[in-house]
């Protein structure tokens, strides 16, 4: 299958119908007015893969001479130097079924096929995720896709659905050129020789002014957060977006907080619901490897607090906050130069000799001297669900899924098991205690947003089957663990054979006296047999998470990452 990805783009852009042969496999590709089909005729017989709908027709462009030369070098690297030998970077597998890319969709009315949409849900649910603008020419990792926002706008019981790319700098220059220019980060730099060759081609493209890295190379494909509405990816600055009056999504541009934010920001800032402050950070491959900051309710970024006690670059994917502290997880995933050089692996990998630890710093700290580190061996969390203080502020409690078999996080996601744990840190004695609160394979945990940084009782999380696919959701009552060390699942909904969901999101009812779980859980669900996607709204209080409303979507929604719900009143302010 070595030449598959390298021939995709050239075939797509140059030939309406082609037949080619390589490495004893024949690849047949056809593009017509209604469909895209890929069939692989191999020694073992014919193998078919689900296909994305017809891509948007791009006006014919004549590449420049430098572009033709660089693209030819790219093809050479992808065919002979670094073809997608491993299945988790082979586009044929990574972009199969409902991971296959789709085109943009303008606002389209939807049918409510079951129940009705509650009036308190007037607003928009928006979910981010990877969706490559162009089919990859070489190795491709799930995390490498361009950001696409899939949103359903609810108004007076009616729903309108739409999908739009985040118009990042990368998206715009590649859309104008008609082909991929910026290399894939997670899959394009595995080993010395592929990295040197692709790096040389990338440098040549920069010198030829095909793109300017100072304008950002990020994908904005991971999450969203509000005040203002931003699409986020941790390798770049935020991209401001807005919802137009007709429900469409418009990208406003790259946002640097009046020049105060340089290069990048986490995709998981935490917003205190009482103060409306955003607590965030950036991390990178050069010292200081972690820089903490916050953004006040007026959108003004505070001064950086560099953390020099981080001695090696680490994957800081998320943060937790309490009313007094911000909490960082220094996990075993970081830069792995030995594997990169000797084994030809990814530069990002696991360090089995490292002891995981949690860093606790006062939310308004002026410097690193106020930070304390606590060893938590074997605790590797990518997502933090919530944290709070107990015992008059002497104890910090963190709820988060611990990723078992963390060495497979970027390569064999199907082997990941997320065990949600409750971790307690006694700030006086320095003692850390922890125990699991569920044995199910769970991640993408969310809570009632008004409880961020405060003691909460309920968590809604997705069930891995195995990751990155999610087969259902559960409701956890984390208070059970205080009395009885047993599984804390109190409600569950499975979506059935060949049906998979995305991250759940909790929306409270408009009732100030309501209980913590008095609201709705919403998400996208896809049926791989019928190739249909639906938007479900469920009663968050019911033992089986009963369906309140089922909206049939006009086309499928690829699996993705994180979302947000913005009420109608806030949309008007945006």
pLDDT tens-digit profile of 126-143? 999 999 999 998 999 999
Q: Which strand (E) or helix (H) includes residue 76?
A: helix 65-76
Token pair listed for 515 = 């209980």
**Proportion of the chain in helix, strand, coil states, percent, rounded to 5:** 20, 35, 45
CA dihedral 282, 412, 495, 542 (to 10 degrees): -50
Which of the four pLDDT bands, split at 50, 70 and 90, describes residue 352?
A: confident
pTM for this one? Answer: 0.88
Task: Give 59's DSSP letter.
Answer: P
pLDDT value for 345: 65
> Distances in Å between the alpha carbon of 232 and those of 166, 327, 401, 542, 571?
10, 20, 22, 33, 18
Distance CA 62, CA 72 (A): 15
* Structure token pair of residue 105: 């969709």
Cβ proximity of 178 and 13 under 8 Å:
yes
**Do the Cβ atoms of 547 and 114 come closer than 8 Å?**
yes
- Among residues 560, 541, 549, the alpha carbon closest in space to that of 522 is found at 549
pLDDT band at 409 (very low <50, low <70, confident <90, very high): confident
Cα-Cα-Cα-Cα dihedral sign, residues 371, 377, 380, 384: negative
Tens of pLDDT along 271-290? 999 999 999 999 988 899 99
Q: How confident is the model at residue 412 (pLDDT cuts 50, 70, 90)?
A: confident
Q: pLDDT band at 348, cuts 50/70/90?
A: confident
Whether the pLDDT of residue 21 is over 70: the answer is no
- What's the CA gap between 307 and 144, in Å, rounded? 28
Window from 61-75, 251-265, 466-480, 524-538 with minimum mean pLDDT: 61-75
| Residue 88 pLDDT level (bands cut at 50, 70, 90) | confident
CB 291 within 8 A of CB 304: yes
pLDDT the model gives residue 247: 77
- Whether 521 has a pLDDT exceeding 60, the answer reads yes
350: tokens are 């696991």
Helix axes 65-76, 192-207, angle to 10 degrees: 180
DSSP 52: P
Q: Comparing C-alpha atoms, which of 558, 566, 571, 570 is closest to residue 100?
A: 558
- Is beta strand 25-31 parallel, antiparallel or unpaired with respect to 17-22? antiparallel
For residue 300, the tally of other CB atoms under 10 A from its CB is: 11
Secondary structure E strands in 235-392: 239-243, 249-254, 270-271, 278-283, 290-295, 305-307, 319-321, 325-330, 333-335, 348-350, 357-362, 372-375, 386-390
Largest CA distance in the chain: 71
Q: Stretch 520-538: mean pLDDT, rounded? A: 97
Given a cut of 50, whether residue 99 has pLDDT beyond it is yes
Q: What is the pLDDT of residues 29-47, one digit of tens each?
A: 332 233 333 333 222 333 3
pLDDT bracket for residue 337 (50, 70, 90)? low
Task: Convert the pLDDT of each residue in 290-311 to its tens digit.
Answer: 999 999 999 999 999 999 999 8
Strands 372-375 and 357-362: antiparallel
C-alpha 60/C-alpha 407 separation (Å) is 44
How buried is 233 (Cβ within 10 angstroms: 0-12 exposed, 13-18 middle, 19+ buried)?
A: buried
Q: What are phi and psi of 53, to 5 degrees?
A: -65, 170
549 contacts 536 by C-beta, under 8 angstroms: yes
Among 177, 212, 195, 166, residue whose Cα is nearest residue 82? 195
Separation between Cα atoms, residue 160 and residue 110, nearest integer Å: 6
pLDDT given at position 341: 60
pLDDT at 361 over 70: yes
Q: Which of 520, 570, 518 is nearest to 550 (CA)?
A: 520
Weakest-pLDDT range from 171-185, 483-497, 535-549: 483-497
Residue 15 has pLDDT above 60, yes or no: no
Mean pLDDT to the nearest integer, 366-380? 95
Please state, as a whole number, how many other Cβ atoms lie within 10 Å of the Cβ of residue 111. Answer: 11
Q: Strand 357-362 and strand 348-350: pairing?
A: unpaired
Question: What is the C-alpha separation between 206 and 204, in angstroms, rounded?
Answer: 5
Q: What is the pLDDT of residues 185-228, one digit of tens each?
A: 888 887 788 889 999 999 999 999 999 999 999 999 999 987 68
Instruction: State both tokens at 313.
Output: 């670059």
Instruction: Using the predicted structure, report yes or no on whether residue 232 has a pLDDT greater than 90.
Output: yes
Overall average pLDDT of the 333-344 stretch: 68
pLDDT given for residue 510 in this prediction = 80
Question: Is pLDDT of 265 > 90?
Answer: yes
- Average pLDDT over the chain, rounded to an integer: 86
With 50 as the cut, is the pLDDT of residue 3 above it?
no
Q: Measured in whole angstroms, how far is the alpha carbon of residue 428 from the centre of its chain? A: 36
* pLDDT band per the 50, 70, 90 thresholds, residue 343: low
């Amino acid at each position: 299958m070595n030449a598959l990805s390298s021939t995709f783009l050239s075939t797509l852009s140059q030939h309406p119908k082609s037949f080619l042969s390589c490495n004893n496999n024949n690849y047949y590709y056809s593009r017509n007015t209604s469909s895209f089909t890929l069939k692989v005729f191999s020694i073992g017989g014919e193998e078919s893969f689900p296909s994305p709908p017809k891509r948007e027709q791009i006006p014919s462009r004549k590449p420049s001479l430098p572009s033709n030369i660089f693209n030819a070098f790219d093809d050479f690297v992808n065919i002979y130097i670094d073809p997608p030998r491993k299945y988790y970077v082979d586009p044929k597998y990574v972009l199969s079924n409902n991971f296959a890319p789709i085109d943009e969709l303008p606002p389209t009315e939807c049918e409510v096929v079951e129940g009705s949409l509650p009036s308190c849900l007037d607003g928009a649910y928006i979910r981010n995720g990877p969706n490559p603008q162009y089919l990859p020419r070489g190795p491709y990792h799930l995390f490498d896709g361009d950001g696409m926002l899939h949103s359903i706008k609810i108004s007076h019981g009616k729903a309108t659905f739409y999908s739009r790319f985040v118009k990042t700098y990368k998206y715009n220059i590649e859309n104008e050129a008609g082909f991929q220019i910026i290399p894939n980060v997670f899959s394009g730099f595995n080993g010395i020789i592929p990295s040197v060759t692709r790096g040389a081609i990338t440098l040549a493209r920069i010198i030829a002014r095909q793109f300017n890295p100072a304008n950002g190379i990020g994908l904005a494909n991971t999450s969203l957060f509000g005040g203002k509405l931003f699409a986020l990816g941790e390798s770049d600055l935020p991209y401001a977006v807005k919802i137009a009056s007709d429900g469409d999504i418009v990208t406003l541009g790259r946002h640097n907080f009046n020049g105060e934010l340089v290069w990048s920001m986490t995709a998981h800032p935490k917003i205190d619901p009482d103060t409306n402050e955003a607590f965030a950070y950036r991390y990178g491959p050069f010292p200081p490897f972690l820089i903490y900051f916050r953004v006040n309710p007026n959108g003004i970024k505070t001064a950086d607090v560099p953390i020099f006690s981080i001695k090696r670059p680490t994957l800081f994917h998320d943060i937790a906050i309490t009313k007094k502290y911000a909490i960082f997880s220094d996990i075993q995933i970081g830069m792995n130069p030995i594997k990169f050089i000797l084994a030809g692996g990814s530069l990002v990998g696991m360090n089995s000799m490292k002891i995981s630890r949690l860093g606790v710093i006062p939310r308004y700290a002026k410097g690193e001297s106020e930070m304390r580190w606590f060893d938590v061996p074997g605790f590797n969390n990518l997502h933090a669900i919530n944290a709070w203080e107990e015992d008059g502020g002497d104890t910090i409690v963190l709820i988060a899924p611990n990723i078992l078999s963390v060495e497979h996080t970027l390569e064999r996601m199907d082997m990941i098991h997320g065990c949600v744990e409750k971790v307690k840190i006694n700030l006086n004695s320095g003692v850390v205690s922890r125990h699991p609160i569920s044995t199910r394979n769970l991640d993408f945990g969310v809570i009632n947003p008004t409880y961020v940084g405060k003691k909460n009782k309920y968590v809604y999380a997705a069930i891995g089957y195995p990751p990155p696919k999610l087969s259902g959701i559960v409701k956890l009552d984390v208070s059970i663990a205080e009395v009885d060390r047993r599984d804390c699942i109190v409600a569950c909904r499975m979506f059935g054979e060949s049906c998979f969901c995305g991250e759940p999101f909790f929306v409270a009812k408009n009732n100030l006296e309501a209980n913590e779980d008095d609201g709705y859980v919403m998400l996208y669900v896809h049926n791989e047999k019928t190739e249909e996607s639906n938007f479900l709204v469920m009663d968050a209080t019911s033992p089986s998470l009963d369906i309140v409303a089922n909206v049939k979507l006009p086309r499928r929604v690829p699996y993705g990452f994180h979302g947000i719900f913005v009420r109608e009143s806030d949309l008007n302010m945006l």
